[in-house]
Structure 1
Amino acid sequence: MSENTGNGEHPDATPGRATNVRVDMVEAFAAAWGTASGRPPEIAEFLPDAATLRAQALHELIRVDLRHRWLHHASTDITRKRLTHYCAEFPELEQAALPAGLVFEEFVIRRHSGERVDPRDCLREYPEQAASLRGLLNTDELDQSTHRADESDATVNHSPDSIRSTQMTSPQLDFTATATSAATAAHSAPGAFEPLDRIEIGQRIGDFELLTGLGSGAFARVFLARQTSMQRLVAVKISADRGTEPQTLAQLDHDYIVRVFDQQLLDTDSAPSARRRLRLLYMQFLPGGTLLGLLRWVRETPPAERSGKLLLDAVDTAMAEKGEIRPTDSSVRTEIAALSWPETVAWLGRRLAEALDYAAEHGVLHRDVKPANVLLTAEGVPKLADFNISFSRTVAGTSPVAYFGGSLSYMSPEQLEACHPSLGRSAADLDTRADIYSLGVVLWELLTGAKPFDDNTAEAEGHGDETTLEAMLERRTGGVDPAALDRVPANCPAALRRVLLTCLDPDRSGRWADGGVLAKQFDLCLDARARDLVDPPPNSWRMVWRKWPLLVLVLAIGIPNGLASWYNIQHNQTLVVSRLGETAQQTFIFITAGVNLIFFPAGAALLIYLSRFVLWVPGGLRKGRRYDPDTLRRARQDSLRLGDRAVIVAFSLWALAGLTFPLALQLSTGDVPSRAVVHFLASLLVCGAIAVAYPFFLVTFYLVRCIYPVFMRHGEISDDDGTWLRALSRRCTWYLAVAASVPLLAVASLTFLPPADIPSVIVAVRVLCIGGIIAFVGSYVLFRELEADLKALERVVS
C-alpha cells in the first residue's frame, strides 16, 4: 500500500505544481529492497528514460535507498551512501540543485542511525540550500537544542518500548524529536523522516503486536499484527492522520474490497498536535500479496508459459514468505488453475469491476487504482484497497479536490487534465469512468507485462510538470501504442482485447458506463461460446452475413413460404381448380392473384416495419454511431422476437388465403363443395406449419448468431435480456414440435381424400414428407445450436 500527498503535490515541488513522480517505480524499488538478500537493488534499474520523469523519480528512489541503507539494513555490510555519492553516480544530479527537503532527510536519517551530525556542518556542505535548511534545522536555537537532540536519539534508537499505550482507546507514540525542529520539518517537508519511521517490528501498540512488515510507502507503513483481544491476525496500516479513508471504507462492505475493522489515532508525546498525529487503521489480513507482486512474475515468465497457475504460484510464494499455509480443497483455486492467462486477467478484472461498481453506487471514487492497491487472498481472489485519496460524496465535509492525487501512469486523460493547472478541469469532474480507465491500464499491464502507453519515451521539449502531463496526455489521446498491441498474447480472445481497449478509450463517453456493465463484459470473456458469438473470428461467415440482414431475412422467410406455396398450388390445382370449368378457373385465378398481390406485399411491408430497429441499428453501431439506451433496448428486444413476428405475419396471410380460396370458388362457381373446403383446410394446415416452423428457426438462428451479439459488444445489457432469452428458449421447443408435425400432417391429409384422388397427389405428398423429414432434422440441428447459444448468452446477461 502507498500513501500520496493529500493535495497531489510533491514535497519538493513549489506550491501549486502537480506531482509527476513515478510512484509505481518507487513502490517497486521499495519492494525490491524488501526482498533483497545480500545485494541491494540498483536505482538505475528503476528509473524511466524521460528526463522530466527521471529527475523526479530519482529523488524519491534516493529517499528509499537512504532509509534502507542507513536504517533498515544497518546491521549488514551494505554500504551507507551519502548524497554526494548519488551525485557522482548520476550525472543529472547536481549538488547545488538538490532539494532542501532531500538534504534535510539525509541529515535526519544520519542522526537517527546514531551518527553525531552538527547541523552547521550540513549548512556548510550545502550552501546553496542553506536558506531553506536554516528553517528546517532551526539553527537559531541550535546551541540550546543540539545536546538534547543527541540524548534523545540514543533513547529512541535503543528503547524497545518506544511505542506505548497510555490509554486503551487513545494510544500514543513515545517519540522524541530527532532535532528541535523535527515537528516543523515534518510539516514543511512531508517526504522527510517522520515518527512513522520509528515504529519497529516486535513493538506493541495498544491491542496490536507488530509481527512483520507487509509494505511501506512514502507516507504509510503496513504491518502484519496480532490483535490480542480478538486473537486474530490483522493488517495494520499506520499513516498520517489525513483524508477520509476510514469513513469511506466504513460505507463499503463487499467481497472484493478489503474489509476495514476500525481505526485509532496515535499522538507523539513531544508534539501531540493534529499535524503530527498518526492514524492506525486495522483491517482484514490478506496473505497472497498484491497485483504488483504478480506483475513481477508475469514479466519474468514467457507469454507461452503464463496461465492461471502463475497467479497461484505468486500467491503461494507470498504466503510462504509470511509463513502462511496454502489452502487445500479450494474450488476457487481449482477454477483458476484451469484458466488460460487471458482468462485469468478477465477473472481478476470481473471482480475488480464489481468492486468499483459497488463503490460507485455508494458514492465513492477510488482515483488510485493500480497493482499495488489490489491485494490477493490465499485463494487468489483480488480485493481493492487503499482508498486514501478516494472521494466519497456521502462523507460530510469532504470535497473531490481535498485529497486529489494518484499515480500518473495509471491515470485517465481527464484525471491528468485535472492535475494540469491550465486545462480547466478539476477533480470534481471525475466519475467512475476514470477508475475504469485505471483498471484497464492495470489489466493490460497484467495481460502483456507492460503498460499500454510508453510514458518512458514521452520526450518533453521543456522541463517541468506541465510539459510532462501534456506529453502523457498526447500519448493517451492517440490510443494504445502499436507496440503494446503487438504484445497481446496470441491466445487472447478478441473479446478481452475489445473490452480492454474500450476501457482505455481516451474519450470517456466511449468507455463502459459503469463497473456493472464492465463486469458482464468480463463474464462474456470467460464464456468461450458467448465470446465467440459476440466477437467471432475475422474470417467467420457471421462477420460477412452481419452486413446483409435484409437479404438474409428475405431468404429465410421467403424460401419456406415459397415451398409452401408450391405445395398449396399442386395440392389444390389437382384436386379442386382443375375440375372447374374454364371460365370458373379464370375467375378463380384472377381473384386469388389479386388477393395475393395485395396481401403479401402488405405483409412484407409490415415485416420490414417491425424489423426496422434490427435492420438499421446494428449497421449504425458498426459505423460508430451511438444510440440512446431506449433505442438499443428496443433493438435487442426486437432481434429476439422477430422470428415470432415473422411467422405470425406469415401464418396470418395463410389464414387469409384459406378464407379467400373458398370465397373465390364461391364467386366463380356459385357453389362451394364440402370436399373443396376440406382440401383447402388440409393444405392450409400443412402450409401454415411450414410457414411457421422453418422461417422461425432460420430467422432466429441468424439473429441470435449474428445480430443480437452486436448489441452485447456495446454494453447495453439488462436483466430483461435474460428474461427474453429464457422465453425464447422455451418457445423454440414449441416450434420444434410444429416442425415435426409437417410430414405427419402431409400423411394425415391423405386420409381425407377419396381413394380415387390419392394417386393424383401422391407425388406432392411424398415430396412433402421427405422434404419435411429433412427440414425437421435441419430444424433440430438449429434448435440444439440455438439452445446452447441462448444458454451461453443468458449466463452473461443474467
Structure 2
Amino acid sequence: MSELSARALARFSADWESTLRGDRQEPPLLAGYLPDGRAVRLEVLTDLVRVDMRQRWRRAGLEKRVAEYRREFPEMGTSPAFADLVCEEYLARSRFRPLDVDSFTAEYPEVATEIRRRFTGETPPPPPPVLPEGIETGRRLDDFDLLTDLGGADYSRMFLARQRSMQRLVAVRVEAGADSDTVAQLDHQYIVRVFDQRLIADGSTGKPLRLLYMQYVPGGTAEGVLAQLRREAKAADNGGKPGGRMIHRTAPATNGLPDGGLLLRAIDSAMEAKGESRPSGSPVRTDIAALSWPETVAWVGRRLAEALEYGKRQGVLHHDIRPANVLFTAEGVPKLADFALGPMYWSTEFIGARSASANGAEALRYRSPEALRALLDSAAPSPGPASDIYSLGVVLWEMLTGSLPFDDPEAGTDAVPAMLARRMAGVPAAALDNLPPDTPATLRRVLLECLRPDASRRWQSGGQLAGQLDLCLDPDARDLIDPPAHSLWARLRSWPVPIAVLCVGLPNALASWYNIRINKSLIVDELSASDQYRFEQVALINNLAAFPVAALLLLWLARRPLTVSYRLGRGHEYTPDQLARARADTLLLGERVVWVPFALWLIAGIAWPLALAGAGARLPHTAFAHFFTAQVVCATIALAYPFFLIMVYSVRSLYPQLLARGSVGHEDRRQLAALARRSNFYLAAAASVPLLGVASVTFVSTDELGLVIVPLRILSVGGVLAFVVIYRLSRMLEADLGALVRAIPEAGH
C-alpha cells in the first residue's frame, strides 16, 4: 500500500468512526477520498470499498453489495482484488442467512471459478495482518511515546505510552490494518475507559495502523491472577517451597486454602514488573485481604457483571470475555476491557484469521455454545446478552479452581464442533470435584446457572448475576438462600402442605380446646338436656360447614406459594412474571392464612348464640358475653401464633428458592420491608393473648370463677411461654428479612 493510499484510507476510516459516534449523519462517500491518476485511484478505491463494505455489513440497513460499488465505479471490475471483494461480500451475506454458492456466483460470473475454489475448502483462510517490524518501546507513533511493552500478538500489541498532547499515561493498542473491530467508548467504573482511536500509516512501510488509546490500568490481568494461583497451588503441593523470590504476602491463607491476599499478590507482582509501587492504606485492599478465595472471585465477578449490565443498557455486548480482558487497578478493582461491536466479530472470516494466533485460539475456550454454533452455522442466530454471561461464568470458574470447566481439545476452527458438544453436555462431574472445599453453595449454584447450555435458562442480564454474586459475600444471606443440602430447612422444602397445615392447625386446635373448656363450664353445663342436644346439633352443623369452607379457602389462598416452590425443587421452570407473583404471594401467605380463621372465630361468636336462640334453646343472659369473649381470645390465638410459625417457614424454606431464580428488584425489597413492619402488629397480638384471657374474667361472676380458673391459668402461663417463643421467632424473621433485603441488588445494578 502506498503512502497516498494509506493516508486516504486513514482519513476515510476516521470519518466512518465519526459517523458511529453520531458526529456525522451519514457514512462518508467514497468519491471524496479518491486521488487522481488511474493506477493509484484503483488501488485506493479497492481499499476504501473493503473498509466501507465491512462497516456497512455490520449495521442493519446500511448494507451495500459489490455490484452496487461496480455500478458506481465501473473501473472496479478491472481491480486485481475484485475477486477478494466478492468473497468478502459472500462471507458477510452468509453470516445472516444461508447462501448457496452457485446462486451467488451467478451474480458474478467473471469470478465464479475463483469463488467456488475458495469456498469448497481447497484454499486455507487468509493469514491475519501482521504488525510491521520496529513497533517497539522507545518509538514515537503519532502523539504517543511507547514506554513499556505490555504484551500482545503478531497483529496487535499493547504499550504503556505517554500522550504528549495531554501529558498523561495511557495504554495504547497498536493494531495492524485499519478495519479492525470497533470498540465501544463506555464510561463506567468497572470498564476500561477508551479515550479514542487514531488511524495512521506506518512511516517506514506505509502500512495502515490503528492506535486505540485508553485508561492505563497497572495491576495486570486475570491471566496474571491465574498464574499466581497455579504457582501457589504448585508450591503447596511441593511442601510450600516455591522456587524463586517470594512475593510479600498481604494476608496469610487459612487452612491451607488461598484467600483474597492471592489477588493482591498477583497485582503487586504485575506492578513490580512495570516498576510501579503498590498503594498503602487502601481500604479496598484491606477488604479484599479479609475475603476467602471464593468470596474474592464473587467480589470480582459481581463488578464485572455490573459492567456487562451497563454495556447492555448502552446497547453494547462484549463478545470476547476472557482473562486477558479482565484488568485490575492497583487497589484490586477489576475493569473489563475491549467491548466489541458488530456481528462481523462472529464471522467465519474473523475466526479463520484470528485462530491462527495463540491468543485468538485460546479465546474460543471462553465462548458460549451459541457463539460456537454461530461459527459453524451461518444461519444460527447471533449470540445475545446471555452469551456474555456464559463467558464470564467460565472466567470466574477458572479463577475459582485454576482450571477450565471443560477439557477441550487444542483450540482452532477444527476443534469447534468438539468444544460445542462438551458445552452442550453441561459441566462434568470431574470439574465439580475441582471446586475448593470452602466454596459456598450459592457460588456453586450461580456459576452452574451461568454455564447452562440453554441460553434462556441462564441469568439474562448482568444485573441479575451481580445480585446473585452479592449473596456470596453475605454469609447470613447465602446460607438462607442455599442452606446445606441436609439441613433442617432444606429438608422441610419438600413438605410445604403438611407443614402449613401443622402451622395453622396446631394453634387453632389449642384455641378450640380452650373454647370448649370455657363454654362447657360457663354455658353448656347450665343448659337443659334438650338445649344441650340443640347446642351439639348447631355445633355439628356449623363445624361441618365452616371447616371445609375454611380449608378450601386457605388452600386456594396458599396455592401459589406452596406449589411453585415445591415444583421448582423438581426442575419445573416458571416465567419471571410467574416468579414475581409467587414471591409476592409467599410474603403474604402468613396474613392470608390467619385472617380467615380469625374472621371465622369472630363470626362464630355471634352466629352460634343466634343459631341456638333460633333453634329454641333458652340461654342464660350472660351466655352471649361469655361465648363472644372466649371467641375473641381464640381468634387472637389463631391470628398471632400461626403467623410467625408459617412466615418463618416460608421465609426460610419457600421464598429463598424463588429469590434464587433472579429477576428481582426494587419491588421485592419493598415487599420484604413492608412485611418486617407489619410483623410488629402480630407480635403485639401474641403479647395480648394472656391479657385478653385475664380480661375475660371480668364477665365471670364470683360464683363461676372456680369453674374457669384452670383453663385461665393454663392460658395465662401458656400465653406467656408462647410469647417468649413467638418473640424469638419474630427476631429470627426480622433477621431473615434483613438478609433477604441485602440479597436483592439495589436499583441500578
5+ residue gaps, structure 1? 1-134, 136-187, 459-463
Q: Confirm or deny that 1:439 pairs with 2:392.
A: yes
Distance 2:453 2:337 in 1: 25
Q: Confirm or deny that 1:449 pairs with 2:402.
A: yes
**Cα deviation, residue 256, structure 1:** 1.0
Contact 2:527–2:619 (8 Å) recurs in 1: no
Counterparts of residues 245-324 of structure 1 (less than 5 Å): 248-250=183-185, 252-269=186-203, 272=206, 276-302=207-233, 304-324=256-276
Find the counterpart in structure 1 of residue 382 from structure 2: 429
Find the counterpart in structure 1 of residue 299 from structure 2: 347
Q: Confirm or deny that 1:219 pairs with 2:155.
A: yes
Find the counterpart in structure 2 of residue 47 from structure 1: none
Contact 1:417–1:425 (8 Å) recurs in 2: no
**Cα deviation, residue 242, structure 1:** 4.4
Distance 2:350 2:520 in 1: 83
**Cα deviation, residue 647, structure 1:** 0.8
Find the counterpart in structure 2 of residue 138 from structure 1: none
Find the counterpart in structure 2 of residue 414 from structure 1: 370
Instruction: Using the TM superposition, name which of 667-676 and 786-795 deviates more.
Output: 667-676
Find the counterpart in structure 1 of residue 171 from structure 2: 235
Distance 1:453 1:338 in 2: 31
> Of residues 499, 506, 518 in structure 2, which corresponds to 1:559?
506
Q: Secondary structure at the match of 2:184?
A: helix
**Cα deviation, residue 668, structure 1:** 4.5
Find the counterpart in structure 2 of residue 328 from structure 1: 280
Q: Confirm or deny that 1:391 pairs with 2:341.
A: yes
- Judged with a 3 Å threshold, the aligned counterparts in structure 2 of structure 1 residues 244 and 515 are, in CA distance, closer, same or farther, namely farther
Find the counterpart in structure 2 of residue 88 from structure 1: none
Instruction: Using the TM superposition, name which of 290-299 and 197-206 deviates more.
Output: 197-206
Question: Any idea what the Cα deviations from partners look like across 1:427-468, whole Å, max 9, x if unmatched?
Answer: x5211111111111111111111100111489xxxxx844x2
Instruction: Using the TM superposition, name which of 370-379 and 718-727 deviates more.
Output: 718-727
Distance 1:473 1:425 in 2: 16
Contact 2:598–2:635 (8 Å) recurs in 1: yes
Contact 1:697–1:782 (8 Å) recurs in 2: yes
Counterparts of residues 127-206 of structure 1 (less than 5 Å): 190-191=127-128, 193-195=130-132, 197-206=133-142
Distance 2:685 2:702 in 1: 28
TM-score (norm 1): 0.71
Question: Any idea what the Cα deviations from partners look like across 1:380-438, whole Å, max 9, x if unmatched?
Answer: 11111023xx2259xxxx78649854611111112112222xx4544x52111111111
Distance 1:482 1:321 in 2: 38
- Judged with a 3 Å threshold, the aligned counterparts in structure 2 of structure 1 residues 344 and 403 are, in CA distance, closer, same or farther, namely farther
- Judged with a 3 Å threshold, the aligned counterparts in structure 2 of structure 1 residues 749 and 392 are, in CA distance, closer, same or farther, namely farther
Find the counterpart in structure 1 of residue 553 from structure 2: 606
5+ residue gaps, structure 2? 1-79, 81-124, 237-255, 352-359
Question: Any idea what the Cα deviations from partners look like across 1:196-221, whole Å, max 9, x if unmatched?
Answer: x4123233334333221222223211
- Percent sequence identity is 52
- Judged with a 3 Å threshold, the aligned counterparts in structure 2 of structure 1 residues 637 and 242 are, in CA distance, closer, same or farther, namely farther
**Cα deviation, residue 554, structure 1:** 0.4
Question: Any idea what the Cα deviations from partners look like across 1:568-602, whole Å, max 9, x if unmatched?
Answer: 11112111221111111211221122112111210
Distance 1:709 1:194 in 2: 54
Question: Any idea what the Cα deviations from partners look like across 1:340-390, whole Å, max 9, x if unmatched?
Answer: 111111111111111112212222221111000110011111111023xx2
Contact 1:233–1:285 (8 Å) recurs in 2: yes
Find the counterpart in structure 1 of residue 4 from structure 2: none
Distance 1:512 1:367 in 2: 16
Distance 1:771 1:731 in 2: 24
Question: Any idea what the Cα deviations from partners look like across 1:481-500, whole Å, max 9, x if unmatched?
Answer: 32221111100011111111
Find the counterpart in structure 1 of residue 706 from structure 2: 759
> Of residues 467, 479, 487 in structure 1, which corresponds to 2:434?
487
Question: Any idea what the Cα deviations from partners look like across 1:205-260, whole Å, max 9, x if unmatched?
Answer: 343332212222232111112233433222112213545755x422x221111111
Q: 1:354 is aligned with what amino acid?
A: E
- Judged with a 3 Å threshold, the aligned counterparts in structure 2 of structure 1 residues 358 and 580 are, in CA distance, closer, same or farther, namely same
Q: Secondary structure at the match of 1:278?
A: strand
Contact 2:131–2:175 (8 Å) recurs in 1: no
Distance 1:506 1:413 in 2: 6
- Judged with a 3 Å threshold, the aligned counterparts in structure 2 of structure 1 residues 723 and 243 are, in CA distance, closer, same or farther, namely farther
Distance 1:571 1:580 in 2: 14
Q: Secondary structure at the match of 1:222?
A: strand
Q: Confirm or deny that 1:374 pairs with 2:323.
A: no
Distance 1:669 1:677 in 2: 15
Counterparts of residues 458-607 of structure 1 (less than 5 Å): 465-466=413-414, 468-607=415-554
TM-score (norm 2): 0.75
- Judged with a 3 Å threshold, the aligned counterparts in structure 2 of structure 1 residues 243 and 385 are, in CA distance, closer, same or farther, namely farther
Distance 1:564 1:392 in 2: 69
Q: 1:534 is aligned with what amino acid?
A: I
Find the counterpart in structure 2 of residue 358 from structure 1: 310
Q: 1:745 is aligned with what amino acid?
A: L
Distance 2:308 2:453 in 1: 19
Q: Secondary structure at the match of 2:335?
A: strand
Find the counterpart in structure 2 of residue 21 from structure 1: none
Q: 1:281 is aligned with what amino acid?
A: L
Query: Once superposed, what is the RMSD of the aligned Cα atoms?
Result: 2.3
Q: 2:278 is aligned with what amino acid?
A: R
Find the counterpart in structure 2 of residue 117 from structure 1: none
**Cα deviation, residue 750, structure 1:** 1.7
- Judged with a 3 Å threshold, the aligned counterparts in structure 2 of structure 1 residues 649 and 192 are, in CA distance, closer, same or farther, namely closer
Distance 1:667 1:257 in 2: 79
Q: 2:373 is aligned with what amino acid?
A: E
Q: Secondary structure at the match of 1:249?
A: coil
**Cα deviation, residue 329, structure 1:** 2.9
Distance 1:714 1:743 in 2: 42
- Judged with a 3 Å threshold, the aligned counterparts in structure 2 of structure 1 residues 243 and 545 are, in CA distance, closer, same or farther, namely farther
Distance 2:153 2:626 in 1: 88
- Judged with a 3 Å threshold, the aligned counterparts in structure 2 of structure 1 residues 408 and 402 are, in CA distance, closer, same or farther, namely closer
Q: Secondary structure at the match of 1:224?
A: strand
